[in-house]
Structure 1
Amino acid sequence: MRKLYVAAHVYMILGLISGLAYREITKIQEYTGDTQLGVVHTHLLALGMLFFLIVLGLEKLFGLTENRRLFATFFWVYNASLAVTIATMVVHGTLTVYGKESNEAIAGIAGLGHIGLTVGLVLLFINLGKRVPKNRAADAE
């Protein structure tokens, strides 16, 4: 459970720092248009901090970490994929602010990050499905 708390805390810190960085980079460059940097903040807070706080609650209720292998696979796939997704957003957004063109490789890598997030979510739901009681009698316990 501590691992989930630490993950949520790290994403909270990164989310707040990314919001500040977005504000400062665009102010220094006098950039007023749309950029991916503007949504890195919310992605980190929602897909990172809030997500892991919810998983922490699910762990408390259903013991998701009892299946260590499945939980560890979910945890690392999801985190690595979120890191890839966020990194490509930062690169694409920074290039936009500095007036450079992004290429197809950035979009492809971002796509891989999103696929990984999907795999992580599927693994979470497989684990959750194994832990949630299947009948009402089990629910009452």
Structure 2
Amino acid sequence: MQKLFYASFAYMIVGVASGLFYREFTKANDFPEGQFTQLGLAHTHLLTLGFIVLLIVLVIEKVFVISKSHLFEWFFWVYNAGVIVTSAMLIWHGSLTVMGEESTSAIAGIAGLGHIALAAGMVLLFLALRSRIVAPAAAQPVVEATAAE
């Protein structure tokens, strides 16, 4: 649980800092206010996918102890890799836009890999959760079920 808590806290700090960076970087480069850049999306991605989702997973951990599933470690590292890669590409692409430079297809491709890792992490989360919800009910002997009635 501490790992989820500290990761969520770290994403909150980085998410807020990325919002500050977005505001100050666009001002410093005289970027027109209101014009779209992916730099602003990094702030919301880090806060939502990092901070809020991991807080929700922390609550799920408290209720279902999903860390006992062998898939939980896979979820944690794959999902976090996805959040970091996706957010890094948003910052890189957005910074290039603010500086008036062209982006490359490599940035989009790497961002796509980050999104794939996010999706894989979500699947792993649901599989870990399923193993904790379904397995305990299926593992109970029939004798206990009839004795409780």
Q: TM-score, normalised by structure 2?
A: 0.87
Q: Distance in 2 between matches of 1:42 and 1:112?
A: 19
Identity %: 54
* Aligned match of 1:3: 3
CA-to-aligned-CA distance 1:63-109 (integer Å, 9 cap, x gap): 00112x31111100000111110111011000000000001100000
* Aligned match of 2:122: 121
Query: AA paired with 1:21?
Result: F
Q: Pairwise mapping of residues 1-141 of structure 1 onto structure 2 (< 5 A)?
A: 1-32=1-32, 33-67=35-69, 69-133=70-134
Q: CA deviation at 1:10?
A: 0.1
Query: AA paired with 2:63?
Result: L
Q: Distance in 2 between matches of 1:116 and 1:45?
A: 18
Q: TM-score, normalised by structure 1?
A: 0.92
Ranges in structure 2 where 5+ consecutive residues have no aligned partner: 141-149
Q: Distance in 2 between matches of 1:115 and 1:66?
A: 25
Q: Distance in 1 between matches of 2:125 and 2:134?
A: 16
Ranges in structure 1 where 5+ consecutive residues have no aligned partner: none
CA-to-aligned-CA distance 1:32-85 (integer Å, 9 cap, x gap): 221001111111000000000000000000000112x31111100000111110
Q: CA deviation at 1:133?
A: 4.6
Q: Distance in 1 between matches of 2:11 and 2:56?
A: 13
Which portions of structure 1, spanning 4 or more consecutive aligned residues, are displaced by more than 4 angstroms?
Answer: none
Q: Distance in 2 between matches of 1:117 and 1:2?
A: 21
Query: AA paired with 2:96?
Result: L
Superposition CA RMSD, Å: 1.3
